[in-house]
Structure 1
Amino acid sequence: MTGQRIGYIRVSTFDQNPERQLEGVKVDRAFSDKASGKDVKRPQLEALISFARTGDTVVVHSMDRLARNLDDLRRIVQTLTQRGVHIEFVKEHLSLALLQIVGGDKLIIPFC
């Protein structure tokens, strides 16, 4: 059975249009935060991480909408992929099923 497609949207300012980030992308459910990428408190991202199950796919417009730095991106992606959740970055045309971290600081991204 195929899992759900779950969208994550983050806008930095209240005048940005969140719907544009996943325009034309089919998702079963979406989580949206209005916060800076540097803001540690992103309640909808935390809710998405808790909600996502093995076989689900998280769809994000671009890597910078999910995280502002590599360490944060690595942590979020690793948390999800280790639980069997796939991640798609629309802008980068990138789909991740597993994130491998080698030597604690090298990131290997297998393409799916």
Structure 2
Amino acid sequence: MLSSTSELDVRPLTRLFRALGDETRLRIVALLSHGELCVCHIETALGLNQSTASRHLGILKAAGIVDSRRDGTWVHYAITEQDHATVAQALEVLTSAFGAERALRAD
């Protein structure tokens, strides 16, 4: 029998789906699932301008899905260590279920 929602903490899952509920952010996370990237590489890979990339990365960071580190003038982003396995599994399940593997791999 399933527990009632009052007994379950669904906030982490809600946070994940809210942040991934945008095509651009989903594509960014798919890129980062392969490892850390400089924001300039994310911009180039997805054809984004700097302000758009920064806005989406800020939302992902606020949700606790990605971390950033500064290296001189460069900012590098990666999926947080604690969320990496969860995000990778969620991406695999969702992209398979909705047939989006090819679109995300193209990036």
Fold similarity call, TM over 0.5 = no
Question: Larger relative CO (CA 8 A, sep 6+): 1 or 2?
Answer: 2
TM-score normalized by structure 1?
Answer: 0.29
- Structure with bigger strand share is 1
Q: Which has the larger radius of gyration?
A: 2
- Structure with bigger helix share is 2
